C-alpha cells in the first residue's frame, strides 16, 4: 500500500457514478409513471437518495471483490483500489456505511417494501453476481441482470408501496437490454476477460456466437419494448420513440454481426445501448405527461 493521500474523488469513483446515475434515472421514471400527476416529494427525494446510496454501495463492493481482476484489465486498472489510492479497509467500511444509510432511509422515510426489495437487489448484484455468477457461468450477465433491472420497480414501489404489473414491464425492458449491452463491451474486451479467467460469453463461446446472441436479444428487446403500448401503459408517442430506438439498436447489432475482429463497432454498439436505455425511459416519461400537457393547453 502506498502513502498516497486519500481523496474524496476516490470514494466518489468507488460508487461508479455514471452507472448509479443511470440506475437512479430509471428509478425516478418509475416513480413518475406510478402516479397520474406529480410525485409526492417524500418518496421522490428520500427514495432517490436511498436507491442511489444502495446502488453506490453495491458498486463499491464490486470494486472490493474485483480488485485483483481490476489490476489486470486496462478498462479498470486506474480505479482507486488497483492504483493503491486507499486501503481495502476504507473501501469496505465506506460500502457498508452508505449501504446501511441508504437502506435505513428507505425503511424509515419511504416504506419497508422498497427497503427490502432494494436490499435484495443489492445482494443480487454485490454477492450473487459479483462473487459467484460472474466467475461461474457465461450466462452471468443474463441471470445477474435482474439486480440491475430493479430500480424502476423500486421507484414505483417507493411511491405506491406495492409491486405493480406495469413496473414489471420496466423491469423486463432493462432485463432484456442488459445482455446485448454488456456483451458488446465483452466482445471488445474479450482478451482481457480471458486473461483474468472470467467466463464471459465471447471467451467461452467465441465472437460469432456472442454476436448472434447480441442480435437475437436486440430483436427480443424490440418486441418487449412495445409491451407498454400494447398494455395501454403508454401511448403513440412512446411507441414511435421505442420503435425508432429499437431499429437503431438493431442496426448496430447487424453491423456487429458483419464486423471483422478488431472493428470499433462493438464499442459503438455499447455506447448506443446506453443512449437507448436513457432514451426509452425519457420517452416513457414524456408520453406519461402528454395528456396533462394537452389539458393545460386546453387542446
Distance in Å from the first CA to the final CA of the chain:
66
Asked if 144 contacts 133 with a C-beta cutoff of 8 angstroms, the reply is yes
User: What's the mean pLDDT when you consider all of the chain?
Assistant: 94
Q: Which three cell numbers stand for residue 67?
A: 480488485
Question: Does the pLDDT value for residue 4 go beyond 70?
Answer: no
Work out the average pLDDT over 167-195.
96
- 143 shares its domain with 181: no
Give percent of the chain with pLDDT exceeding 70: 98
Q: pLDDT at position 75, please?
A: 83
- 65 shares its domain with 37: yes
Asked if 288 contacts 234 with a C-beta cutoff of 8 angstroms, the reply is yes
pLDDT category at 175 given cuts 50, 70, 90 is very high
- 13 shares its domain with 73: yes
Q: Which three cell numbers stand for residue 174?
A: 432493462
Q: pLDDT at position 128, please?
A: 92
Total domains present in the chain: 2
Question: Does the pLDDT value for residue 261 go beyond 80?
Answer: no
- 31 shares its domain with 86: yes
Work out the average pLDDT over 261-275.
94
- 85 shares its domain with 36: yes
pLDDT category at 3 given cuts 50, 70, 90 is low
End position of a domain, from candidates 162, 192, 213: 162
- 10 shares its domain with 133: yes
pLDDT category at 74 given cuts 50, 70, 90 is confident
End position of a domain, from candidates 128, 146, 162: 162
| HEC secondary structure over 198-247 | CCCHHHHHCHHHHHHHHHHHHHHHHHHCCHHHHCCCCCHHHHHHHHHHHH
Give me the domain span that covers residue 154: 1-162
- 136 shares its domain with 214: no
Q: pLDDT at position 1, please?
A: 43
Asked if 282 contacts 251 with a C-beta cutoff of 8 angstroms, the reply is no
pLDDT category at 206 given cuts 50, 70, 90 is very high
Question: Does the pLDDT value for residue 293 go beyond 90?
Answer: no
- 231 shares its domain with 149: no
End position of a domain, from candidates 106, 127, 162: 162
Smallest CA-to-CA distance from 124 within 110, 139, 105, 143 is with 143
Q: Can you give the CATH number for the domain in which 85 is found? A: 1.10.357.140
pLDDT category at 282 given cuts 50, 70, 90 is very high
pTM of the model: 0.94
Q: pLDDT at position 299, please?
A: 64
- 89 shares its domain with 169: no
- 195 shares its domain with 129: no
Question: Does the pLDDT value for residue 37 go beyond 50?
Answer: yes
- 96 shares its domain with 204: no
Work out the average pLDDT over 79-97.
93
- 41 shares its domain with 151: yes
Q: pLDDT at position 65, please?
A: 93
Q: pLDDT at position 166, please?
A: 97
Return the sign of the alpha-carbon dihedral for residues 92, 93, 96, 98.
negative
Amino acid at each position: 500500500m502506498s502513502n498516497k493521500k486519500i481523496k474524496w474523488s476516490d470514494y466518489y469513483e468507488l460508487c461508479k457514478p455514471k452507472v448509479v446515475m443511470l440506475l437512479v434515472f430509471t428509478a425516478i421514471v418509475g416513480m413518475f409513471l406510478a402516479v397520474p400527476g406529480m410525485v409526492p416529494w417524500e418518496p421522490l427525494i428520500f427514495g432517490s437518495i436511498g436507491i442511489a446510496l444502495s446502488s453506490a454501495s453495491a458498486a463499491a463492493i464490486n470494486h472490493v471483490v474485483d480488485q485483483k481482476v481490476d489490476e489486470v484489465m486496462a478498462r479498470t486498472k486506474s480505479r482507486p483500489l488497483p492504483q493503491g489510492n486507499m486501503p481495502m479497509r476504507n473501501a469496505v467500511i465506506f460500502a457498508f456505511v452508505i449501504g446501511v444509510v441508504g437502506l435505513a432511509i428507505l425503511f424509515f422515510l419511504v416504506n419497508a417494501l422498497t427497503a427490502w426489495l432494494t436490499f435484495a437487489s443489492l445482494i443480487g448484484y454485490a454477492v450473487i453476481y459479483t462473487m459467484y455468477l460472474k466467475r461461474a457461468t457465461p450466462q452471468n450477465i443474463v441471470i445477474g441482470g435482474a439486480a440491475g433491472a430493479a430500480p424502476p420497480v423500486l421507484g414505483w414501489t417507493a411511491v405506491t408501496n406495492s409491486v405493480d404489473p406495469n413496473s414489471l414491464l420496466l423491469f423486463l425492458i432493462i432485463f432484456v437490454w442488459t445482455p446485448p449491452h454488456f456483451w458488446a463491451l465483452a466482445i471488445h474486451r474479450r482478451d482481457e476477460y480471458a486473461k483474468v479467467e472470467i467466463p464471459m460469453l465471447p471467451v467461452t463461446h467465441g465472437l460469432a456466437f456472442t454476436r448472434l446472441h447480441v442480435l437475437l436479444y436486440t430483436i427480443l428487446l424490440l418486441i418487449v419494448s412495445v409491451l407498454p403500448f400494447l398494455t395501454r401503459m403508454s401511448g403513440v408517442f412512446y411507441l414511435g420513440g421505442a420503435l425508432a430506438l429499437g431499429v437503431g439498436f438493431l442496426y448496430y447489432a447487424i453491423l456487429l454481426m458483419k464486423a471483422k475482429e478488431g472493428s470499433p463497432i462493438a464499442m459503438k454498439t455499447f455506447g448506443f445501448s446506453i443512449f437507448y436505455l436513457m432514451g426509452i425511459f425519457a420517452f416513457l416519461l414524456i408520453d406519461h405527461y402528454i395528456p396533462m400537457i394537452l389539458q393545460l393547453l386546453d387542446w
